Amino acid sequence: MAHETVAAAEEILDKEFPVLDHGFVRLVDYLGGDQRIVQSARVSYGAGTKTYREDKGLINYLLRNEHTSPFEQVVLTFHTKMPVFVARQWVRHRTARLNEISGRYSVMKDEFYLPAGNAIAPQAQDNKQGREADGFDQAAQQAVREALAQQQRAAYDGYERLLDHDVARELARINLPLSTYTEWYWQIDLHNLFHFLRLRMDAHAQYEIRVYAEQIFDITRRVCPIATEAFDEHVRGGVRFSRSEFAVVQRLLSTPGDGSEPADRARAAAEAEGITGRAAQRIVSKIIDGISG
């Protein structure tokens, strides 16, 4: 099968899209696009045998019904630069192939992530692994930035002193902080990329990895516009219900309206099914806000 080129993707190959303060994402290469998905699904049909509308319908059908193998035929390769703590979350997606810069062979650059604005926020009261949506005031934000910068400078100064004393690079690097920037080449098929994006673009994902996922999604739109639109419709914009949650939805739909607020009705339906507390609030969020919990 001949290599399929996509004009919109060709326009941005090797172009750096900045993320955070020193990071970036760039598309290095891609294999296939929407047509590769369609051809793989139909197998025996050549290119151009169906209309755009029929191709779009097929891709939506495949994604809606979780027929994933045709999406594995499309492969994208990215060059990304991110803080180490972002990379350590990212690498949990083990279905990709990657090659990262090595501090054993290379001297690490004096580049560290410094959060800004509302990214500097207190610990969330209802989420052990997240921060509040509203940041500290500007004075407190600046104080945090100065403290982080001071610690980063001290760590890098120590790193350089060890190198100057001919300490091996693989040992000198060990005290560098998680805010140090690293780089890698990351290759992944579209099916597994969609799984990464579903998790990392979610509102509950950490801000610093979420902005990378959003940039990658924008780039992927260039390669597979139909497939990414279908992903937006059926996955990113969709909501899944468990069996008990669906029972709440059924009860809500079968109960006449009493003029109360939708959230109150949803909460009452959950309580009628014996669901209370945080579990009930998750159901309310799904029904009212479309946010999967």
DSSP-assigned letter for residue 21: T
Indicate which residue of 36, 173, 200, 267 is catalytic. Answer: 200
The DSSP string of the chain is -PPP--HHHHTTTT--EEETTTEEEEEEEEE--HHHHHHHHHSSPPTTSS-HHHHHHHHHHHHHTT--GGGGG-EEEEEEEEEHHHHHHHTT-TTSEEEE--TTTSPPPS-B----GGGS-PBPSS-TT-B-SS---HHHHHHHHHHHHHHHHHHHHHHHHHHHTT--HHHHGGG--TTBEEEEEEEEEHHHHHHHHHHHSSTTS-HHHHHHHHHHHHHHHHH-HHHHHHHIIIIIT-----HHHHHHHHHHHHSPP-S--HHHHHHHHHHHTT--HHHHHHHHIIIII----
Please give the single-letter amino acid code of residue 219. I
- Residue 183 CA to residue 53 CA, distance in Å, equals 40
Q: Whole-angstrom Cα distance, residue 21 to residue 123? A: 22
The values of phi and psi at residue 179, to 5°, are -80, -10
Six-digit token pair at 288?
């009212």
Told to judge if 200 belongs to the known catalytic residues of this protein, a careful annotator would answer yes
So which residues are the catalytic ones? 200
